[in-house]
Amino acid sequence: MSTPLTIELFSASSCSRCSKAKKQIRQLLDEFNTETIAYSELNVLEELDYAVSLGILTTPSIAMDGKLIFSTLPSMKKLRHKIQQHLENK
């Protein structure tokens, strides 16, 4: 079995867009096989060094397999497409 795609959502507790992002991403991920995706939500302030190493400057931001993919919340269509691309290339 291949390694799961790692998706990390970087957010901040006072960010209203982040709350929306969490809800939308969880709903979107329900469409996929949970064995092929490892999803986590990270507080940008608690993971500041890691966030900086990825180049994250704003929240919400989304990283996949340790690389910054979206520095702002994309449309769910764009995110779905990007996840599908990554899963096909695994």
**1, pLDDT greater than 70:** no
Contact call for residues 15 and 59 (beta carbons, < 8 A): yes
pLDDT single digits (tens) 68-90: 999 999 999 999 999 999 999 87
| Distance of alpha carbon 72 from alpha carbon 86, whole angstroms | 19
CATH number at residue 82: 3.40.30.10
pLDDT at 58: 94
pLDDT at 90: 73
pLDDT at 30: 93
Helices (H) and strands (E) in the chain, counts: 3, 4
Instruction: Enter the pTM of the model.
Output: 0.93
Number of domains in the chain: 1
Q: Residues, the chain, total?
A: 90
pLDDT at 52: 96
pLDDT single digits (tens) 18-69: 999 999 999 999 999 878 999 999 999 999 999 999 999 999 999 999 999 9
59 SS3 class: coil
Structural domain that includes position 60: 5-88
